[in-house]
Structure 1
């Protein structure tokens, strides 16, 4: 079934490319694109089978994201962040799963995980309030996952949780006016004080241990993977896709380009141009290969019923943040070597350059913290696995 989704996504790529300018102009992915993705089953790749999902191999999910982003970065981005959420919803208590998918298995969920909201413990749950930023694709979703610190009656922080909130309990504030990933509609979410039942929350300490109440209903190996591996790799996958799209357009442009300043020499005959694409393609392939190999290695431990070693989880994050950097380095080199025509509105290259650098500032792509943790662990220092 996953192959059918991948084939369907591949057929949609020309349309996504044609709508890329419209996507930026609307500051949202067009409804037509979201509908097409729904119809080919993309958003169900990581959804539990008991809710008409596919429970696919995460590598198929990442491959689909990369393909989509190679045609339109913004579309690929919302596919990554909205598409990974069914995996996390599957870890929630069954009451929450039923609320999201019980009546409509095509329900989509957006997110903003930074704990900028405040939750206070009360009978049966929490009182949540606050404002969150960067909820990509929120206009296409009817629930949202929000991060919040939990306070007891004495005002002390007792937990860091993800809260699942229905559309009638939050407001979307249109603030998304940016130069990169302009079509992701990554607007703000505002919640006035509202009650969230315990069953509609998930502790980050639990996800850090690769456990959640939903595993009782969804016992498959997919739902035993680490949150911070699955989610952060979903942030790198579209950026690698952008690099692939930039590479394809650069090669095509250089095959047609004549360099007037060099006596009409064809750009494709320039030996230095050949070296540049060799270097860029290696960066792209290396980024992808390491990320996918690490996820596959984690899957092997899960399949054997083994605990995933912390060293491997930290390696996932090391290669994920460096994979993002490798992809962006490739885009930079290709963009700089493409000549003035790459600057034209409508080219994929200039959009990929803007979109990839915008994606680079996502918290999951913070290289120093991930690399520092990896190095500290190698030196024998204690590292909190709950965040990696």
Structure 2
């Protein structure tokens, strides 16, 4: 049938590319761009059908994210992060989904998953207080998914939850002044003693066990996939997209570039440039092939009602973090061999280099820790982690 959303998005890419520098310098994706992406249906790709979504193949979603990120990584990043949240919301109780999407199925939800919030049990729910950083695209969202710990009588954490909070219950504080992904406006969220009813809470342990109350109304295979696979892939996809955009710019530039030193000549004839292109292209292709293959295998197993084994979950995380690592190796190589032109602020290669490196420091891209988990599993040791 084809990726119809991707076809609509391709028509938007020239304008997104033209706005990339302004997005980077202003620190925010233009409202016009977000509106165009909403109209294209991007944010409904992983949204449940009962609430106006498409329940699309997640591989198609990541394909769209990579295409947008190649034009502007900040735009691709908030597309991916805001676009993956409807999938997680589909695991919440029906009442929470109704509360968010009944008024408007295009409602966006941001997140900050670090468990820095404090939840105190009260009648019919909790009281939430905390401050969260790095909530990408929060200015476009009317709700937020926030990580929090339930604190017992002894003052010790007894459970780790993700809670859903409306915009009226938190304030956003401008705190985003960074080197890369500047346009994501990943600012801070502050909550002070907000009441959270029980239907707006999901246990991270249950989620890691591939369970969620929302599965009763959203029984499709999409909502039987591991959070660790779906979310972390949404973090790597923009990085790979940014590097792909940098690669395309490098190839285009190299075709026309003439050497002004070392005897002159066209860069296209330089074997070192040719080798750099080959290596970078191979890293990008290998990343996409491995990541898409793993997500497809998970989706097929979920559709057939089969278990998703730990071996596959660990392999998916292994290939996802290695995908980020490969993408960084590719853009580093291109940045180095592009010469002084890659230093110009705002050039596509320079921006791709900054944005890819910024995305690589996300907790989902902790390469060594994730590879150690894979090694533990391969050696028959127990692996306990919420991101697997």
TM above 0.5, yes or no, is: yes
SS at match of 2:3: helix
Q: Which 10-residue stretch deviates more, 341-350 or 272-281? A: 341-350
- Checking the alignment, whether the CA contact within 8 Å between 1:118 and 1:150 is kept in structure 2 is yes
- Checking the alignment, whether the CA contact within 8 Å between 2:220 and 2:303 is kept in structure 1 is no
- Checking the alignment, whether the CA contact within 8 Å between 1:120 and 1:153 is kept in structure 2 is no
Aligned residue for 2:210?
Answer: 210
SS at match of 1:321: helix
Q: Deviation at 1:338?
A: 0.8
Q: Deviation at 1:183?
A: 0.3
SS at match of 2:126: strand
Q: Deviation at 1:166?
A: 0.1
Aligned residue for 2:170?
Answer: 170
Aligned residue for 1:89?
Answer: 89
- Checking the alignment, whether the CA contact within 8 Å between 1:71 and 1:245 is kept in structure 2 is yes
Aligned residue for 1:265?
Answer: 265
Task: Give RMSD over aligned pairs.
Answer: 1.1
Q: Distance in 1 between matches of 2:48 and 2:300?
A: 20
Gap runs ≥5 in structure 1: none
Aligned residue for 1:195?
Answer: 195
- Checking the alignment, whether the CA contact within 8 Å between 1:121 and 1:153 is kept in structure 2 is no
Q: Which 10-residue stretch deviates more, 260-269 or 36-45? A: 260-269
SS at match of 1:146: strand
Aligned residue for 1:98?
Answer: 98
Aligned residue for 2:157?
Answer: 157
Gap runs ≥5 in structure 2: none
Tell me the matched-pair count.
388
Q: Deviation at 1:179?
A: 1.1
- Checking the alignment, whether the CA contact within 8 Å between 1:310 and 1:385 is kept in structure 2 is no
Q: Distance in 2 between matches of 1:57 and 1:6?
A: 12
Q: Distance in 1 between matches of 2:177 and 2:273?
A: 36
Deviations 1:352-386 (A, max 9, x none): 00001100110000011111111011111111264
- Checking the alignment, whether the CA contact within 8 Å between 2:249 and 2:349 is kept in structure 1 is yes
Q: Distance in 2 between matches of 1:87 and 1:165?
A: 16
SS at match of 1:261: coil
SS at match of 1:240: helix
- Checking the alignment, whether the CA contact within 8 Å between 2:92 and 2:202 is kept in structure 1 is yes
SS at match of 2:74: helix
Q: Structure 2 length normalisation: TM-score?
A: 0.98
Deviations 1:91-113 (A, max 9, x none): 00011001100110000000000
SS at match of 1:260: coil
Q: 1:56 to 1:2 in 2, by over 3 A?
A: farther
- Checking the alignment, whether the CA contact within 8 Å between 1:2 and 1:54 is kept in structure 2 is no
Q: Deviation at 1:299?
A: 1.2
Aligned residue for 2:63?
Answer: 63
- 2:20 paired with 1:20: yes
Q: Distance in 2 between matches of 1:236 and 1:25?
A: 23
Q: Distance in 1 between matches of 2:361 and 2:165?
A: 26
Q: Distance in 1 between matches of 2:303 and 2:47?
A: 19
Q: Deviation at 1:2?
A: 6.6
Matches within 5 A, 1:281-320: 281-320=281-320
